């Protein structure tokens, strides 16, 4: 089998680089969003479990409960998205590494 030409290698590298920039970089915002959702969920859960024992329902406590519920609902959605993005990004990096 013939070795690929230098022109073909450059074209392949350029296409992979463009795909990396256009497909994965816009979704890199998912990583910090996932981290923030996890931190809000865990800190709110710990607050509601240990610090806020009983008592009346105030506006601040209702806001914390609502925020924790929203974060808890988004974590499963974000987990699937982040894992998929990471796996596909790793595959793309491996493809880009093979071309060198």
Read off the pTM.
0.77
90 inside domain:
yes
**Could you tell me what percent of the chain has a pLDDT over 90?**
39
- Report how many domains make up the chain: 1
Confidence of residue 87 (pLDDT cuts 50, 70, 90): very high
Assess whether pLDDT exceeds 70 at residue 77.
yes
How confident is the prediction for the chain on average, in pLDDT?
A: 87
- Residues 19-49: pLDDT tens digits? 888 888 888 899 999 999 999 999 998 988 8
pLDDT score for 99: 56
Whether residue 11 is contained in a domain is answered as: no
Closest CA to 34 of 65, 87, 93, 74: 74
Give a yes or no: residue 85 inside a domain. yes
- Average pLDDT score over residue span 86-92: 89
Q: Which domain holds residue 87?
A: 53-100
Beta-carbon contacts of residue 54 (< 8 Å; ≥ 6 apart): none
Q: In this structure, is residue 2 part of a structural domain?
A: no
pLDDT tens digits, one per residue of 51-67:
877 677 788 888 989 99
Provide CB contacts within 8 A for 76, sequence distance 6+: none
């Amino acid at each position: 089998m013939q070795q690929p030409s230098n022109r073909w290698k450059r074209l392949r590298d350029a296409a992979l680089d463009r795909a990396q920039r256009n497909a994965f970089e816009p979704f890199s915002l998912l990583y910090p969003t996932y981290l923030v959702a996890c931190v809000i969920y865990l800190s709110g859960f710990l607050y509601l479990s240990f610090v806020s024992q009983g008592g009346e329902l105030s506006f601040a406590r209702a806001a914390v409960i609502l925020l924790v519920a929203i974060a808890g609902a988004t974590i499963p959605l974000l987990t699937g998205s982040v894992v998929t993005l990471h796996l596909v990004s790793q595959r793309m990096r491996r493809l880009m590494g093979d071309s060198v």
